[in-house]
Structure 1
C-alpha cells in the first residue's frame, strides 16, 4: 500500500510545536511499522501557506493512482483549529485518500469527531443560538422581521399595524373579488401611491409573498414549530385556501429547465425610469402551413418596472441585438464619459469590488459554520461519520471555490487601487473583449464586461454604454 506524508509548520502535539523534521521522522517510522511504501511527501512551512497542500491535491488528481494513504502528524497539521482541519479532511476524502495519524495509525476523521466532543466543541455557538431560538418559537415569540401588516408587541408577539393591515386585506380582496393577477395588483398599489413598508414600490414578488404567507391566518411558524392563534388574523381560512388553490392552478407544471443566464445582467438599465432591465425568455410554438410544429425561444431584456411592477413603458430589446450593439460600442472611441460616482476617495467600482469581497467572505463564514455543525452532529451521534463525509464533501468543494473566488476578487480590488495599473487593466480587458469575444467562456466574458462597463442605458433605439475610466 502507498503512503503520502503531509507536514505543516502549524503542527503541534501536546501543546508543543512539531518541526517539519520531527513530522518527517514520525512519518518514516509509521510507514516502516505498517509496511507502507512511501511515494511522496509535501510540506507547508506555516499555516499561512497552502502551496504544499495544493500540490498534494494535484498529486491525488492524477489518473491511474492506486489506493492511497495520507499520513499527518496530528490534526493541527491540517489547520489551526478543528473546523479548518475538517475542511481539509473532506477535500482529501473527495480525492479518494484515507487520512491516518502517524502517532497511532488512527483514522483522522474519527479522531476529529472524538476530539470535537471531548473539547465541548460539538456544540458551537451557532447551534446553541438555534436551540434558544427554537424555544422562543415554541412560545410564539417573534424571531426576525415581522411580516407586513404586523409589528412586534411588548410580549414579543405579533400585533397589527392598522395602516398596513388595511393594505393586506386590500391585496387579498383584489386577488379574490376583482380577479386581478399579482402583477396587476402591484401596478394598482403603485398607481394609488401606496408605498411598501420601506417606502418603495410594490413588485410581483412582494405581492405573491403576502398572498402565500400563513402568518395572516394568525399562525406563527419557525424552525418547524407552528403556534396557532398566536396573533390576530387578517384573512379567513376559507379565503386563504381559495387564494392558494388559485395560485396553484396558475402555476405551470414543473418541467426540466435549462437556465441560460443573460450576459448583461446587472449592467443594463432602462433610461426612462432608471430601473434595471432583466433577462426574459419566451418560448413559442406554432404550426407551419404544411402542418409541421415549430418551436423557438426568444430572449429579451425588459424593463423590470414594467415586468414586475406593471409600471413604466414598453422598453424591450432582443438580447442578441443589444449585446451586439454593446460590443460595437466598446470598439468605438466615441462614447459617453464615465459614470463614476465618488464616495470619499473610492469610486463606485471600488465600492462594488469591496462589496463583492465582503459578500464572498460572508459566504465562506457561513460555509465554515455548516461544516462545524456537521461535525457537531457526528460528535453527538446524530449522524454517522460516513454520512458526515457524504454531506461534507459538497461543502468542502463549495469552500474551495469560494476561496478561489475571493482570491480573484481581492486581486481585482488591489489592481483597481493603483490608478495607472487600473487604467492599464481596463484597456487590457477591453482589448481582450474585442479580440476574444467569441472564444471566451460566458463567465470570463461577463467578468471582463463588468470590469470595463459601468452601466448601459437603453431607451428604445438609443443605447448608451458608459465605460469605466
Structure 2
C-alpha cells in the first residue's frame, strides 16, 4: 500500500492478488489456510516483505479495504463505512465474501475497557491521551495507573506525566458527586434552565475537521491491515475517530438549538452516581463519556514535589457555570 497526501491505494500488482484472494474465497470456496498457502507458493510478499500467515490474510480480507471501506470494531462486531480510497473489487464480490464469511464460526469478541477512565484522560503538557500502565504507589508497590502516550512512544526527553488510577477515579467521582448535588438545587436548576448552550456553527471549520478525521481513519486502517498496530489499539483509536466523524456529519443537518437540558444533565450525574460501585468498567465509562469531555492530568510543578491534580472538562460546560 502507498499513501499520497491523505489518500491510500494499493499497488497494481497487489490489487490483482488481493482481488483474486477474494474471488477464491467467495466463489471457489477456498479457506483462509488454502489462500495463505497459495500466496506463499506464488512468492507474493506481504507489504512488509514477509511470508503470509492465516491471521494476516484474515485481517486483510475482513478489513474491507479492497471494497473501498473502513472497518470499525465494536463489542457488537464489525461496522463498515465508506473510505476515501477507491475500491478494487466489486460490491457484488464483497457481498459474496461477507455471505460466506458469515457462515464461518467466529470466536466471541468483547471490546471491554480495563478502566472506567479509558480514553478520557489527557496529558496537561501535550494534550495527548493517557494509556494504562503500572505506576509505583505507596510502599513501593506497583499499581494500575496511566502515563502520557506520547511520552511512552517517543521517550524524547519530555517529562513524564502520569497518575495512579485510583487517584484519578477519586477525583472524577468527587466531581460527579458535586455536580449531582449542586445541580439538584431547585433555585440553581431554574436559573440554569434559562441558559442556552451556544452552538458553534462554523461550517468551514467543521468540514476541515471532518476531512481530517476521515483521512486519519483511513491511515489508521492501513496501519492495522499491514500489522503495524495491534487490534486493541486500532479498535480504541477507530472508535474515537468514527465517533468524531459521526458527530461532524450530524452537524450538517442538526438544528442549532441545544439538544440537552439542565434536567437531562442532572439525570446523567445522578445515574453515574448510582452506577459507580455496581457497574462494569464499560457501563461506567459510557455513562461518564456522556457528561465528561476529558480529564486533564496536571503534574506537580517540580518533580517529586506536590501532587498530581486533575481538571474535569465537562461535555456541556455552559450548564455548569
Q: TM-score, normalised by structure 1?
A: 0.28
Larger radius of gyration: 1
| Greater relative CO, 1 or 2 (CA 8 Å, sep 6+) | 2
